[in-house]
Every structure is written in structure tokens, then in C-alpha cells.
Amino acid sequence: MLSKVKTFLRLALSAVAISFFAVASVSAEKVDQQNPYKMVQQAGSKTFDRIKAEQTNIANNPEILRTIMEEELMPYIDYKFSAFKVLGKYTTKLSREELLEFVSVFREYLITSYAVAMGYYDDQLVEFAPEMDFSRDSDVTVRAVIKDDGRPDIKVAFKVRKDRKSNEWQAYDMVAEGISLLSSKRSEFESILREDDGVNKVIAQMRKSITQPIVLEK
């Protein structure tokens, strides 16, 4: 049962990552972080253009995907907020040193997760829902549908929030067919966090995932 859940979550992550990247190309030197809808599409386009430009290098060395995620995607991911969401109530129970280490390792864990997910990309089509008025919002859901010939459509959504200081938008959660990746990770880690020295066990588990090689699945 657990293996089936993990397989589903891996596929869900792949679907969400694909929808973040597989958007129509835009010629934007700088991603517009004042608009959550443009931010998602432009950050995705910028990342995917880099991936397409380095296809030969990636085929020879899939680890390059980590560098691309680091340089092109992570500036638009609020990984600190995501880490706190995953920790939930345990955020207040950790020392400052433990919290800083968890956030740092979680960031690398996200980079690895997105790099792995891109190994599943196979030229899917993504349609984004129309932009809504967000002038009074600080948290917005950007919705999309992944279309793949011969397969059912997959509904995905990006949770993005506006930073109170910079007023810039960043993504913090991604949802596939109603399954939140952060909620899934929180459920996965919660039982471990309840144990003695639980946070270090979770960190060790994430580090183990980070050390796994990136494999292209075509």
C-alpha cells in the first residue's frame, strides 16, 4: 500500500512539475513577480527553455537538471514557507539550529524532487485557466490542466503567496488532482517527527533522497 502511495505521489509531482515547465515560450529576461499568474508561466517557460537548450548535455549527464532547478526555478519557490508548512506544529518545538538545518536540507530536497520529476517529461500540453483579479489577495491559486494524447486530463494547481516586505509572489505548494504535495509530505514525516530525535531522522531521510542519482525516464 505504501509503495502505491509513493508511486502516486511521484507521478503527481511529475505532473505538477511538467505543468510548471511546459508552457508557451515567452521572451522575458526577468520574471514578473508582481503578477502571480505571469510569475508561474514565465518562471516555467524560462526553466523549460534552459532544459531544451541543454538537452544534449542533460542526456549525457542528468545531474545537470539539479543546476537548472537551482538557477532557474528556485528563485520563485518560497522554500522556507514550504518547509514550515511541512513541519506544522513541530516548527515551534525545534531549536533555531535544527530549524535552519531542516530548511536548508528541505531546499536541496525540493531541487532534487523537481530534477527527478523532469525525467518524466514527454512534451505534454498545458492549458492555464484565465487570470483572475488578485489586487486584494495575498494568496492565489493558479490552475491548469495537463493534456496528453491517449490519457485522461490531469488537473493541477499552484499555490502562490505574496511576500509582505517585497510584494513579490512565490510558489509554495503544488497540487495534482486534489493531492497537495506539502500535505502529503507532512503526513509522511509526521509519524517520524513524533519520535525521539525525529527531526534528525527526517533530515537523514531527505539527505538519502538527495544523494540518489537523477535518472531520465523516457
Average pLDDT on 25-46 reads 80
pLDDT, residue 163, reads 95
**Would you state the pLDDT for residue 117?**
77
Nearest to 68 by CA among 126, 139, 6, 117: 117
The pLDDT of residue 16: 55
pLDDT one-digit tens code per residue, 123-169: 667 788 899 999 999 999 999 887 777 778 888 888 999 999 999 99
Are 62 and 39 contacting, i.e. CB atoms less than 8 angstroms apart? no
For cell 540518489, the residue is 212
Q: Give the model's confidence band at 17: pLDDT under 50 very low, under 70 low, under 90 confident, else very high.
A: low
The answer on pLDDT for 14 being more than 90 is: no
Q: Is it the case that residue 57 has pLDDT exceeding 60?
A: yes
The answer regarding whether domain 36-185+196-211 maps to CATH 3.40.30.10 reads no
